[in-house]
Amino acid sequence: MLKIVLSLLVLTVLFAARSAWAAESGFAPGMRVLPEAHNCYPYGGKYADRIDRALAAGLPLGIENDFGWYTDPATGASRIVVVHERPYKGTEPSPREYFFEKVRPIVEKTLKEGNKGDWPLITYNINDLRSIAPEFFKAVWDLMGEYEDWLCTSVKQASPDPPAPLDVKPILVLTSGGKNETRFFYDEVPVGAKLRLFGQADAGPATNFRRWINHSWQDVEPEGQSKAGEWTPEKAAKLKALVGDAHTRGYWIRFYTLNGHPPVKFLTDGLSPSYNFGSLDAVKPRWRAAIDAGVDYIATDQCAEFAAFLKENKKL
């Protein structure tokens, strides 16, 4: 009898988390499927137009950036840079110029119009923070503070559970859930102040800080994109189970990365070869399955193609 009561209590907590999301807006877990522009930043000085191509695919959408911490050897001054990998050259753009000021016209226009139906228009996924320096994380927090009026925020409660309602704005910022992210973006935020970034989780129900789950596509097809065989009902069932579990626990869920392009695109456009199914014909059944399952964020290097596919499949 005690086990039954405990099970019911657990279910009550899980569904309460889900209900809190559903009550606040139209973008609760499972309510919309969005493309996310994977690694949407320059590599080695190339492909600087990635963000322009992503935004041209249409809104709402997600944009993924990675941040590093560059220290100028001549001056000793450090700054946040949008990067893919070391070594940093110091010529990499800052997130202020590369992202925030790039989207300023979009944000100011939608704030002026006040049409919140598609907010947040952009989910800014800072999935990799490539430093352990406390000064770096403090700088990220302060940067978000400069643009706080644009960001979805939530008031920090005395208890982390359940997720508090969001003050919905044009941009939602997601980040990973590591020790430093948790410390600087949640633990050190005073009760009553606003949370500006929302972290990743693995287990348990969603909390006020931890609101999304990140999955490699290999959790569905372990052999990986380049070696995947036919799409099967068994794979579709596995995908739906992962999505259903995340949504029941109150999380958005993201899968990375679903590409279907000729291999030469790696050389011409920098598109990731390791995430490539090899053709649109091969990736489209996966895109369709992810849409049907209700995946919240589908990371791809082919935002335009996926956005068109998503629009067409909404009509079916």
Per-domain residue ranges for the chain?
2-314
Residues 29 and 250: beta-carbon distance below 8 Å: yes
- What are the pLDDT digits (tens) for 276-305? 999 999 999 999 999 999 999 999 999 999
Residues 69 and 87: beta-carbon distance below 8 Å: no
DSSP states along the chain: -HHHHHHHHHHHHHHHHHHHHHHH-TTSTTS--EEEETT-S-BTTB-TTHHHHHHHT-SSEEEEEEEEEEE-TTT--EEEEE-SSSSP-S-SPPHIIIIIHHHHHHHHHHHHH---TT-SSEEEEEEEEE---HHHHHHHHHHHHHTGGGB-BEEPPSS--SPPPPB--SEEEEE---HHHHIIIIITSPTTSEE--BEE-SSSS--SSEEEEEEEGGGTSTT-GGG-----HHHHHHHHHHHHHHHHTT-EEEEE--B---TTHHHHH---STTB-SSHHHHHHHHHHHHHHT-SEEEES-HHHHHHHHHHHHT-
DSSP states along 86-149: SSP-S-SPPHIIIIIHHHHHHHHHHHHH---TT-SSEEEEEEEEE---HHHHHHHHHHHHHTGG
**CA distances (Å), origin 210, targets 109, 207, 270:** 30, 5, 32
Q: Is the pLDDT of residue 197 over 60?
A: yes
Average of per-residue pLDDT across 23-31:
79
More confident residue, 105 or 263: 105
Structure-token pair, residue 231: 């799409």
Residue 211 has a pLDDT of: 98
Residue 45 has a pLDDT of: 79
Q: Is the pLDDT of residue 47 over 90?
A: no
More confident residue, 178 or 17: 178
Structure-token pair, residue 221: 């097809």
Q: Which amino acid makes up residue 58?
A: G
Name the pTM for this structure: 0.91
How close are the terminal C-alpha atoms of the chain, in Å?
A: 47
Distance separating alpha carbons of residues 254 and 201, to the nearest angstrom = 12
- What are the pLDDT digits (tens) for 154-186? 999 999 889 999 999 999 999 999 999 999 999
Q: Is the pLDDT of residue 2 over 90?
A: no
Q: Is the pLDDT of residue 92 over 80?
A: yes
- What are the pLDDT digits (tens) for 222-275? 999 999 999 999 999 999 999 999 999 999 999 999 999 987 665 556 677 889
Q: Is the pLDDT of residue 48 over 90?
A: no
Residue 21 has a pLDDT of: 47
Residue 315 has a pLDDT of: 53
- What are the pLDDT digits (tens) for 119-162? 999 999 998 999 999 999 999 999 999 999 999 999 999 998 89
More confident residue, 46 or 206: 206
Structure-token pair, residue 192: 């009553």
Question: How many residues in total does the chain contain?
Answer: 316
Residue 34 has a pLDDT of: 97
Residues of the chain with pLDDT > 90, as a percent, come to 80
Contact partners, residue 308, CB within 8 Å, separation at least 6: none
Residues of the chain with pLDDT > 70, as a percent, come to 89
Quick one: angle between helices 280-293 and 233-248, nearest 10? Answer: 40
Residue 5 has a pLDDT of: 42
* The CATH fold of domain 2-314: TIM Barrel (3.20.20)
Mean pLDDT of the residues in the chain: 91
Residue 11 has a pLDDT of: 47
